[in-house]
Structure 1
Amino acid sequence: MDDQRGQEVAPDPVRFAVLGPVRVWRAATELRLGRPQERALLALLLVRAGQPVSVSEIVDVLWSGRPPDTAVNVVHRHVGALRRLLEPGLPTRATGQWLLRDTGGYRLVADSDSLDLLRFRALRVEARRAASDGAPERAVDLLTEALSLWQGPTAHGIPVEARAHPAFVSLEGERLATVKEAADVALRADVPGVVLPRLREAAADSPLDEPLMARLMLALSATGRRPEALSTYVTVSNRLADELGIDPGPELRDAHQAVLRDTASTAAGPAAGVSEARTAQGPAASDLVGPRAASLPVPAQLPLDLPTFTGRRAELAEVLAPRSSEGRSAATVVISAIGGMAGIGKTTLAVHWAHRVADRYPDGQLYVNLRGFDPSGAVMRPDEAVRGFLDTLGVPPERVPHGLDAQAALYRSMLAGRRFLVLLDNARDSDHVRPLLPGTPGCLTIVTSRNQLSGLVAAHGAHSLTLRPLGTDEGRELLIRRLGAERVSAEREAAAEITALCGGLPLALACVAARAATHPHFSLSAVAAELREAHGSLDAFIEADTSADVGAVFSWSSRALSPAAARLFRLLGLHPGPDFTAPAAAALAGLAVREARLLLTELSRVHLINEHAPGRYAFHDLLRAYAAELAHTQHGEAECRAAVNQLFEHYLYTAHAAGRLIAPYVDTMPLPPLPEGILPEPLADDESALAWLAAEYAVLLAVIDVATDSGADRLVCLLVSSLERFFDRQGHWHDWAAVQRTALEAALRLSDPVVEAHGLLGLARVAGRLGLRDEAGAHLDRVLGLFTELGDDVGRAYVHLSLGWEAEQRGDLPGALRHDQLALDLFRATGRQAAQATALNAVGWDHATLGDHQQALDHCLEALTIQRDLGDHVGQAATWDSIAYAHHNLGDHPQALTSYRNALTIFRDLGVPAEEAGTLVRIGDTHRATGDHEAARTAWRTALTLFTELAHPDAERVRVRLEELGEPLGDA
């Protein structure tokens, strides 16, 4: 036979791949592989290429220890099918060239030219030889080439039970060891950037591997990304504590210390005489936390500097003096605390000063109003403020760690070695701002407060400045700026009396000046006489050392209003803040929106409120307190309570309508019939709903806080339920977790098991989003029992969907299928068609991930039919994506591309960029599978742009794909 074979034409060369999806090519044509078990058999033979594989081991892989009686015969049939695939026309019972019988089993013949795994190992051996020969750069090139052979998890696409076999698991360990080896060699060769994409990809898959994370930190630091290296340490430390209950080990701690030493030496650069300020500040914003920062502008959050600012020359000279020495500012942490009574002009001075020196802080200016003395009690918590800053600095919500201490540490790491100006306005006390203070030199922090903040002075060396009321000359100067020099100079004594009657408070003087400006024919003497005759009360907000009755100024101003505007002013004092719109004002006062808008214009004209953004109005705290005091004295508690209830119901019913628009086929707790007189804001579509929710976000959180304090427990539960989909869609998971816990506590006070069950389910969902697997599981187990006791099959079905998602996240794909199938059965029994289609798609996806792609198609096509009938466009897009994934893995690439494009069209029409980007990634994968690398690049470039704009963690995986195709991305 050997002689005969020698006479035959040489067969076409065959190539195999197992480092990623299992694939086979004959010449340039990729072969379509058969059923999942045949793929699994081929995968096992490939990872053991050149070695005999026993039939018993094959049986164990294919049936996971539970083989049928016919298992051996089935193996023989699979082997025959593989031989016919590899060598078509091979006579029956012939041995063939590639797949041979061996002692007790089979052996696949391959070498480093025909199998990617053997090529990978050969390159690794060659790299070690190069490193030992003193050629680390050559070793890095070889290891990088070896790692580029991996196109995904080993034997991706075969059943998950088969992939759990040690033969496949050990290969993943081999890959991880190679990544670490490449990192070590690259660091020695001083080319860490070459391996950084592979390190990041491996870290995403193995976030608790301390040696790997230590190498990632060192590589980040060595490429100038020290803030990201430090934030990585914080993230890993939190994960180790949360998931394993341990502290970082010595290798991770040593890497952290190395990064800190590197950071300290860089931060000391300016004092050593670096001439360019920017080069001394460490990495640019684009280096912070991956791709998102590249698309973000330099933060410039300072409020508008008033063009009418005047006076305060001595105070400005005092605060500017410490900044005159650039050496000192670069080498020390500078904190300035501006204190003083309400209305004294602390914020105005701080903002003016910040604008004067902003150019010295090229990395940006951060601002937050902490609302420490907000009359409504809606004080901003430090963790809210920190998360706001982290978002501004480019940290995606899903990467924000748990707990204030960890979030503050990440924030300080982001500012390390850089020059920021941070303005913390209206702090309650020193503890309110400590988590927001930068921890390294080069930043200026300005804090304003009604208190002295002696703790900052004692513990942090803050420079303290207490503002006093304006003197006669400064008061006259303020009036000149607003009324003109001629008018004020003509009545100098009246101007001085006005300043005295206003107690030298800039806020009160601004109100008086606004009144005088709107009546230019009034003499200042007449204005002063009106003030003398006015009466008012604001004793709780007046310092003991001031002789002025500031309430008199406000009383005088409000008496100049029309009766309708004066009533609206009083009722607006009951709004929880931080700002409000005309529709909200209309709801509060029981007015038409058009009438409310006209009255707001009247209030703004006399400076009793401020239109700080188009259509959005705000109070000064002092004026809000005064308005609230008038409301309670002139309207009584019952009328005030009714007005606030109207306002809260306006927000509740609008938020519920918005939630239905952005997720029309998702069940939320139903609302009672719309109360008479309540008019939700009209929202036309998904886009307008999202815009409203985003604009009112801070207000809605304040409403939840105030409603909780006032005992409106049912409203709190219904409002949080209405906001769940918005929280999830926008990634506001930390805020969602906080208000969801508040809602659950409210539900428990109501002793309503239905509301409690919905609260628990929401808490389980957000715990899952935050990666708190144990907490999510515990909540889901509890809520499943509640819905079972209630006899609520729909609730049970939703719990099983969540349990299925949790199982998939843990890698338990059979468990995911089991729960999703239970959800499907329950939804079918209860007639919930939209939910039934969602569950069908979930079951189909589970089958696809388990390798049963025909079953996946059957379920997904059934889901698609229902979704088309309902007009559920979001559901259709998700299902088309699942259908495409199944076709791709069946090797039907043209049909996969058609289905993916269907999904893409819908996602684009709906304006859902995250899902659009995910589909584009998979389109690129299909193009690459067909060998069309240019089309793959086009799809991946678009996906990368979208993920970057969204700060989505999958951006890094797309970057890796593009780099594998030779795309020159650089650091962008």
Structure 2
Amino acid sequence: MADFRLLGDVAVAVGDRTLDPGPDRQRRVLAALAVDVGRVVSVERLIERVWHEAPPLRARATLVSYLSRLRHVLAAAGAGDIARRPGGYALEVDPAAIDLHRFRDRRARARACAGDDGRVAALLREALGLWRGEALTGLGGGWAAAERVRLHQERLDAEHDLVDALLRLGHGEDLVPDLATRVVEWPLDERLAGQYVLALHRAGRTADALAHYRQVRRRLVDDLGTEPGAALQELHQRILAADTALSAPAATPAEPVITPVVVPRQLPAAPPSFVGRRDELDRLDANPAAVSAIVGAGGIGKTSLALHWAHRHAGEFPDGQLFVDLRGFSPDSAPMDPAVALRGFLHTLGVPADRIPVDLHAQAALFRSLVADQRVLLVLDNAVDTAQVLPLLPGGRFSTVVVTSRNRLSGLVTGHGAQHVSLDVLSDAEARALLTDRLGPERVEADPASVRELIRFCGGFPLALNIVAGHACTRPRLPTAALVAELRDLGLDALDDGDPTASLPTVLSWSHRALTPEQATAFALLGSAPGPDIGLPAAAGLTGLSPARARAVLRALERASLVAQDTAGRWRMHDLIRTYAATTAERDLSDDVRQEASDRLVDHYLHTARTAEGLLDPHAQPIHLDPPAPGARPHPLPDESAAMAWLDAQHPHVLAVQQAAASHDRHDVVWQLAWSLTNFHQRRGHLQDQLVVWRTALRAAEHLTDPVPRMLAHRRLGRAHTKLGRFEQATEHLHRALAQAEHHHDLTQQAHSHHELMWAWLQRGDDRRALEHARRTLDLYREFDQPVWEARGLNAVGWCAARLGDYDTARAHCHAALALHRRHHGRSGEADVLDSLGYIDHRTGHHGLAVEHYRQAIALRRGLGNTTSAADSLERLGHPQAALGQADEARATWREALDLYRQQGRHAEARRVREKLDTLG
């Protein structure tokens, strides 16, 4: 699917390729047709747009030559056509393929949504997000220049409309920086002036608002000899009269978020061996813009078909491809809640975790809004039923959905017009092709009769065929006839009851019987391991084997097609094989053996996570863990960078282990794992996960006699709610934590609770109450022999004082904090204080000092591998650089921050920095 780009460099993108439209005038021809897509543009008009007032002598012939070249470029890529029509030419493509027309469509839809300002803001953000810079960049000539001016005005109007919608939604202070830049550029724009005056008033800067009104009025009178218009005068009078209706509403609805900085490409790798399924592929090809449901038995090849088709057509979906395994038939967990899948999609599409609605219907509505007019491919794998799928459907007419399920999903077919693609066993010819691909043509052709019998025994079942082929590959000198004899001796049931899965346990039992005792034990234990897959260190801990021996066993299981290794080096089982493995564990292994394996695996994750947390915050009060079980193998982590890398890779598994521990009433493990994930969740912004693990920990803590886990759980839940903007829940938990700490005379927990209450009140905008808690925090920290804690308290007081404008107090406390951190090697805290000092210096006009402090903070954070905080400091560093007139330095700094934000998936921050760069010009 082509994407014609006019709002930036004129280009045509097809899939991952950008076509070259040719030289400047040839690109002008393309642009001149694209702005009037589908309509005839006369030859005279095209000549005027291409050459303006100085066409060459053979302008018509040259134009025809340009059109011919463009037609060839577009046709070769399947990107559209330029048709000759009476009187001129027309570009024949879908208008939605042209960013300018998508921009205008969203503006029109926004105007039609009058009264629904949240939807208006979302549409206008989408419209403005289509701009890649100045329109028609690089095109010369008078028409292109005039068109740029007109399009620039359309963009300005859309920006004004967006600000109006946001003001109606209750925004104010957050709009001030951007509006302050705009009013400098357009000082006599009364609409813009009114927006800026209202935003200043809502930000608590009423004096500044009135001063700006007076400045605008004076300019209008002096330059134009006229008074401000009625609307601006009325706003001025209402501010003077302290009209409460101008204040922001008490609760502002969460506005939809920007489109993603990076187009999602979530499809797993295409299946390396794929044969047959011609009819099914043709049916999917014939239904490219709808919902298709691929149904059939487990292991029949539904996912392989879906991914094979998806990769063939990925280029037709330039806005991205989304994939989720809904785990509808997972042996170790319930089907995925649609809300979990939606949160994953929304995060991928650029929605910050704290902006994702809690309600499933609201999540689904936001998802549909973000992809309404985009060409997106969704692959929903392993659905359990229609109800699980419905919230994930995009609703727009340009997207395609492919669902796989073992159930027929009749509700999706009858209620939503889904195409039903039933997947049956492979034909004999297809099964033979599969075996030929796996075993090689020489071995298959050596004994055709035995191959036919092997195919008959497997009943065309792809998983059974792959298992047989895998076993044959491990014994390359064994004749095919001997393989068939083994199958016959084992009594392989070739689907006697019509259910293709009926014979699969026999095939699996045959494969299992060929394993050594060591391999069979490992296979059984892997079937009950929590999490979607497993890495080598965890597998070694689970099995009690050395890492080298565990790797050898896993490779043997892979050769038998019982496990598969992905590109990240992790090992995964097919659902049915995993179910069978868990069954063999219950049948063949004693309770003691299974319990010891579980203890080793839990201790692997718990002790490694505990080490990681200690590296992320070496000055945190440690928790006591029992020694790891014999044979457990915690993963060694040498430094903070290794700790973050391990947590990034193992995060879903640690969550799964905590849930498994909760189901087995291992209450100590539950809260200890929550404690071990705290700093990681905060750095990576996993706010919902932080809520879940500490809610689970709080339930576990209620069963323990030690009060500390309960205090910790309430405090951590308070912190998570603060980050999500849920201030009532936050303060409720934090006051419970404080009350329990006071009841048990635990000064440490009291100090930490006051520290969290400080942040909660800062987020609520009550800086004075925050300062009270910061001072109480400092007083308590000073009672301990913990200089780094005291330094944190000093920085907290300094930051709150700076927020209140008491910069002398702020600077004194921060310098004292800096000295303590440096004396006791608290590098992370030192970076925090330097960042605070940079803020104080910038706010007090000492921009040179601010630059130096920010640079020191950035250097420390980079040395610690804390790129998340480094990006924040880089963003702040750009402000004093700009204030010093160092535009090039500020631009380079903000570009680096932008790159980091994009790498970290922090799309809102990336958009904010992009706007600063645009403002800097």
Shared fold by TM > 0.5? yes
Do the aligned partners of residues 930 and 443 (structure 1) sit closer, same or farther apart at CA in structure 2, a change above 3 Å counting?
A: closer
Q: What residue in structure 2 maps to residue 452 of structure 1?
A: 408
Shift of 1:964: 4.4
2:275 and 2:527 mapped to 1: Cα distance?
29
Shift of 1:433: 1.6
Q: What residue in structure 2 maps to residue 259 of structure 1?
A: none
2:713 and 2:492 mapped to 1: Cα distance?
46
2:544 and 2:887 mapped to 1: Cα distance?
63
Q: Which moved more, 1:714-723 or 1:558-567?
A: 558-567
Q: What residue in structure 2 maps to residue 516 of structure 1?
A: 472
Q: What residue in structure 2 maps to residue 903 of structure 1?
A: 857
Do the aligned partners of residues 894 and 352 (structure 1) sit closer, same or farther apart at CA in structure 2, a change above 3 Å counting?
A: closer
1:705 and 1:736 mapped to 2: Cα distance?
13
Question: Which residue among 608, 611, 616 is the counterpart of 2:570?
Answer: 616
Give the 3-state SS of the residue equivalent to 1:830 in structure 2.
coil
Do the aligned partners of residues 875 and 538 (structure 1) sit closer, same or farther apart at CA in structure 2, a change above 3 Å counting?
A: farther
Paired amino acid for 2:373: G
1:629 and 1:176 mapped to 2: Cα distance?
77
Q: What residue in structure 2 maps to residue 351 of structure 1?
A: 307
1:711-860, aligned counterparts within 5 Å? 711-750=665-704, 752-860=706-814
- 2:576 aligned with 1:607, yes or no? no
Shift of 1:797: 0.8
1:527-926, aligned counterparts within 5 Å? 527-534=483-490, 545-546=499-500, 548-667=502-621, 669-750=623-704, 752-926=706-880
2:565 and 2:896 mapped to 1: Cα distance?
39
Q: Which moved more, 1:857-866 or 1:579-588?
A: 857-866
- Aligned 8 A contact 1:427 1:447 in 2: yes
Do the aligned partners of residues 145 and 386 (structure 1) sit closer, same or farther apart at CA in structure 2, a change above 3 Å counting?
A: same
Do the aligned partners of residues 417 and 140 (structure 1) sit closer, same or farther apart at CA in structure 2, a change above 3 Å counting?
A: farther
2:682 and 2:210 mapped to 1: Cα distance?
34
Paired amino acid for 2:489: E
Give the 3-state SS of the residue equivalent to 2:641 in structure 1.
helix
Do the aligned partners of residues 445 and 638 (structure 1) sit closer, same or farther apart at CA in structure 2, a change above 3 Å counting?
A: same
Q: What residue in structure 2 maps to residue 421 of structure 1?
A: 377
Shift of 1:538: 14
- Aligned 8 A contact 1:574 1:640 in 2: no
Shift of 1:629: 0.9
- 2:284 aligned with 1:319, yes or no? yes
Shift of 1:914: 3.6
TM-score (normalised: structure 2)? 0.72
- Aligned 8 A contact 2:473 2:559 in 1: no
Shift of 1:667: 3.5
Q: What residue in structure 2 maps to residue 370 of structure 1?
A: 326
- Aligned 8 A contact 2:292 2:418 in 1: yes
Do the aligned partners of residues 479 and 896 (structure 1) sit closer, same or farther apart at CA in structure 2, a change above 3 Å counting?
A: closer
Gaps of 5+ in 1: 1-119, 128-136, 156-162, 180-208, 214-239, 257-287, 324-328, 968-972
- Aligned 8 A contact 1:565 1:599 in 2: yes
Do the aligned partners of residues 175 and 423 (structure 1) sit closer, same or farther apart at CA in structure 2, a change above 3 Å counting?
A: farther
Do the aligned partners of residues 874 and 955 (structure 1) sit closer, same or farther apart at CA in structure 2, a change above 3 Å counting?
A: same
Shift of 1:139: 8.2
- 2:291 aligned with 1:335, yes or no? yes
Shift of 1:776: 0.4
Shift of 1:584: 0.7
- 2:254 aligned with 1:289, yes or no? no
2:306 and 2:681 mapped to 1: Cα distance?
34
1:734 and 1:954 mapped to 2: Cα distance?
19
Q: What residue in structure 1 maps to residue 444 of structure 2?
A: 488
- Aligned 8 A contact 2:338 2:391 in 1: yes
The Cα RMSD (Å) is 3.4
- Aligned 8 A contact 1:536 1:555 in 2: no
Q: What residue in structure 1 maps to residue 349 of structure 2?
A: 393
Give the 3-state SS of the residue equivalent to 2:566 in structure 1.
strand
Give the 3-state SS of the residue equivalent to 1:711 in structure 2.
coil
Measured against aligned partners, the alpha-carbon deviations of 1:497-553 in whole angstroms (never above 9, x if no partner) come to 3233324321111010111123222222211111122279999xx976348532221
Shift of 1:801: 0.6
Give the 3-state SS of the residue equivalent to 1:613 in structure 2.
coil
2:911 and 2:423 mapped to 1: Cα distance?
50
- Aligned 8 A contact 2:451 2:480 in 1: yes
Shift of 1:650: 0.7
Measured against aligned partners, the alpha-carbon deviations of 1:833-886 in whole angstroms (never above 9, x if no partner) come to 222211111111112222222222221122122211221111001111222333
- Aligned 8 A contact 2:461 2:500 in 1: no
Q: What residue in structure 2 maps to residue 197 of structure 1?
A: none
Question: Which residue among 464, 467, 473 is the counterpart of 2:420?
Answer: 464
Measured against aligned partners, the alpha-carbon deviations of 1:323-345 in whole angstroms (never above 9, x if no partner) come to 4xxxxx3xxxx111112221111
Q: What residue in structure 2 maps to residue 382 of structure 1?
A: 338
- 2:460 aligned with 1:504, yes or no? yes
- Aligned 8 A contact 2:350 2:907 in 1: no
Measured against aligned partners, the alpha-carbon deviations of 1:646-687 in whole angstroms (never above 9, x if no partner) come to 111111111111122122223464423344432210111111
Do the aligned partners of residues 897 and 520 (structure 1) sit closer, same or farther apart at CA in structure 2, a change above 3 Å counting?
A: closer
Q: Which moved more, 1:417-426 or 1:552-561?
A: 552-561
TM-score (normalised: structure 1)? 0.68
1:536 and 1:358 mapped to 2: Cα distance?
40
2:901 and 2:287 mapped to 1: Cα distance?
43
Measured against aligned partners, the alpha-carbon deviations of 1:722-764 in whole angstroms (never above 9, x if no partner) come to 1011111101111221222222222224465322221111111
- 2:374 aligned with 1:439, yes or no? no
- Aligned 8 A contact 2:317 2:377 in 1: yes
Do the aligned partners of residues 313 and 927 (structure 1) sit closer, same or farther apart at CA in structure 2, a change above 3 Å counting?
A: closer
Shift of 1:579: 0.7
Shift of 1:451: 1.2
Shift of 1:896: 3.3
Gaps of 5+ in 2: 1-175, 217-243
Shift of 1:460: 1.4
2:728 and 2:494 mapped to 1: Cα distance?
52
Question: Which residue among 251, 267, 278 is the counterpart of 1:302?
Answer: 267
Do the aligned partners of residues 580 and 140 (structure 1) sit closer, same or farther apart at CA in structure 2, a change above 3 Å counting?
A: farther
Would you say how many aligned residue pairs link Structure 1 and Structure 2? Answer: 713
- Aligned 8 A contact 1:364 1:420 in 2: yes
Do the aligned partners of residues 459 and 829 (structure 1) sit closer, same or farther apart at CA in structure 2, a change above 3 Å counting?
A: same
- Aligned 8 A contact 2:694 2:717 in 1: yes
- Aligned 8 A contact 1:373 1:426 in 2: yes
Measured against aligned partners, the alpha-carbon deviations of 1:224-274 in whole angstroms (never above 9, x if no partner) come to xxxxxxxxxxxxxxxx8xx74x989xxx9xxx9xxxxxxxxxxxxxxxxxx
Do the aligned partners of residues 489 and 211 (structure 1) sit closer, same or farther apart at CA in structure 2, a change above 3 Å counting?
A: farther
Between structure 1 and structure 2, the one with the greater Rg is 1
1:645 and 1:558 mapped to 2: Cα distance?
25
Shift of 1:368: 1.1
Question: Which residue among 381, 397, 409 is the counterpart of 2:365?
Answer: 409
Q: Which has the higher contact order (CA 8 A, sep 6+)?
A: 1
Shift of 1:958: 4.0
Do the aligned partners of residues 754 and 525 (structure 1) sit closer, same or farther apart at CA in structure 2, a change above 3 Å counting?
A: same
Measured against aligned partners, the alpha-carbon deviations of 1:322-369 in whole angstroms (never above 9, x if no partner) come to 34xxxxx3xxxx111112221111111111222233232222221111
Paired amino acid for 1:289: I
Give the 3-state SS of the residue equivalent to 1:607 in structure 2.
coil
- Aligned 8 A contact 1:386 1:411 in 2: yes
- Aligned 8 A contact 2:329 2:384 in 1: yes
Shift of 1:620: 0.5
